[in-house]
Structure 1
Amino acid sequence: MQNIRTFFLVTSGAAIFAFFALLTASLTVAFAGILAILAAGRALSARLKPVPVRAKAGKPQMRVWNDGRGTIIDL
């Protein structure tokens, strides 16, 4: 009777351990798949959007040059 009870407990423990190992593995694969789909969608959507051009803030610089006929000052 003791051997049957021990066998049942060991078998039940191994089955529970296998169940939780399979559950953990399947959740890991599902999470990795969701992350891969989100990363691919983000990469594709970033490629479709034009890159915005940033305007420079601040005072424009004064340009001075000589074209051979006189000095030009561009404000």
Structure 2
Amino acid sequence: METDKRNLGGRPGITVQDVQRACEALRKQGRTIGPTNIRLELGRGSYSTIIRALRNLGLSASSKHKGGE
């Protein structure tokens, strides 16, 4: 099973791939990458599922976007 397509919650919902796309969108907008902004970007998903996805992607729940990276 590919990690980026796996549903992390018990119910159908967001995937790691959804969170990755939200992170990319936030970076382009210059916004902080974190559970709250990802939830706002996606419009759905529990914070615990989003945090698990961030960890799966190698990002901490409090990762911040820094310009130029």
Using structure 2 for the length normalisation, give the TM-score: 0.25
More relative contact order, 1 or 2 (CA 8 Å, 6+ apart): 2
The structure with more strand, counted as a fraction of residues: 1
Q: Please tell me whether Structure 1 or Structure 2 has the larger radius of gyration of its CA atoms.
A: 1
Using structure 1 for the length normalisation, give the TM-score: 0.24
The structure with more helix, counted as a fraction of residues: 1
